[in-house]
A and B are shown apart, each in its own frame.
Chain A
Amino acid sequence: MTVIIQTLSRWAIPLLLLGITTWGISYRVPIYESFVEGAKEGWQTSLRLLPYLVGMLVSIQVFQHTGALQRLIMVLSPLTDWLGFPKEVLPLALMRPISGSGSLALLTQVLETYGPDSFPGRLAATLMGSTETTLYVLTVYAGSIGLKKTKHTLITSLIADFAGFLASLYVVLRFFA
């Protein structure tokens, strides 16, 4: 199983690359010219993102670097203890919607400390895999086309993240108890 999945993920992009160009050539599309025409947009899109990313990442770094996130975790831990959510994984749960690299670091830490086949290890992995870095996705997606208002999307996504956390807890308890 591991081998199949690793092979699949190694081959996916090469096959996509070959597939799209082959399809294009066979329909007599000037693929190189088309590619360059499309690629011109990349520069613009990335630069349009910058102000949004600066805004979001500065605020996230201030929150994290000063230790405010750690304090929030301490404040919340009685509530999550009551829910039965293990405190080993709580930092990851709070970090997950905010920062992708931060949560990856925390996942690695949990795996190292408790082992990948322990309850916290499995819960952390499931939580990481079943949710996304919500703030990053929204910042980048909305920023790339210059949206100022995203209506109810943030609250929707945060509710979905919370549902994902509860589902992870329930599923891991069920699967590996």
Chain B
Amino acid sequence: MINYIWFFMILAGVITAASSGNINLVTEGVLKGSEQAVLVSVGLIGVISFWSGMMRIAQDAGLIEFLSRLMGPLVKRLFPEVPPKHPAMGAILLSMSANFLGLGNACTPLGLKAMNHLQELNKEKDVASDAMCTFMAITSSSLTVIPTTIIALRLTHGAITPTDIIGPIVLATFCSTFVAIIVDAIFRHFSKGG
């Protein structure tokens, strides 16, 4: 799937550029994209290091295990193959909480930490495990309950009540996350059966 989308974007780009007589846009796109990739990954080094460090403290102090035991039963059903006391459970919970609160730059580092712990449980190291699929599907469907950036944007553009968007966002988020969980479960069911 990813191969086709990747190819489609390149093909469509080249055809569009050629037909509009501006083929150098493709080359510009390539340069822009590579530069952006370096900026993003270098930009993440600091904040990922920071949150990895904080997570290590939390782990060494037993905070992750405490969280897992406290909240584990709630998310256990979503990740049946993750042992409730495994640090992956705590990392998943922390990452989800950061997403709930819309803590922008904490979300990715905490999510990556969770993926790292899930990899410890994964048998085939280059294929996503079921738990990883569920986790990625849930994360990419958005969990935000407090959309701080959007409220701020509405505020600066002079909305009468900037926060009245929270209700609709929570409802729509709930729908997309619900669909992600259901579709993931369906795929999982059929891949097991087939």
Contact = CB atoms under 8 A, between A and B. Distances in A.
Interface string A18-41: 001101100101010011111111
B57 A151 contact: no
Given A45-B52, A129-B142, A147 B57 contact: no
A104 B153 CA distance: 10
B141 A60 contact: no
Contacts of A36: 53
A57 interface: yes
Where chain A touches its partner, the secondary structure class is: helix
A20 B63 CA distance: 8
B41 A66 contact: no
A115 B147 CA distance: 18
Contacts of B151: 2, 5-6
B101 A65 contact: no
Interface string B86-101: 0000000000000001
Contacts of B45: 42-43, 46-47
Interface in A56-73: 56-68, 71-72
B160 A147 contact: no
A146 B139 CA distance: 18
Interface of B: 1-2, 5-6, 9-10, 12-17, 20, 22, 25-26, 28-30, 32-34, 36-38, 40-42, 44-46, 48-63, 101-103, 106, 108-109, 111-112, 115-116, 118-119, 125-128, 132-133, 135-137, 139-142, 144, 146-155, 157-163, 165-169, 171-173, 175-180, 183-184, 187, 191
B142 A164 contact: yes
A71 B15 CA distance: 11
Interface of A: 1-2, 5-6, 8-9, 12-13, 16-17, 20-21, 23-24, 27, 29, 31, 34-43, 45-47, 49-50, 53-68, 71-72, 104, 107-108, 111-112, 115-117, 121-122, 125-134, 137-138, 140-142, 144-157, 159-161, 163-164, 166-168, 171-172, 175
Where chain B touches its partner, the secondary structure class is: helix
8 contacts: A13-B103, A20-B54, A41-B52, A45-B112, A111-B157, A134-B140, A147-B128, A150-B136
B174 to A, nearest CB: 8
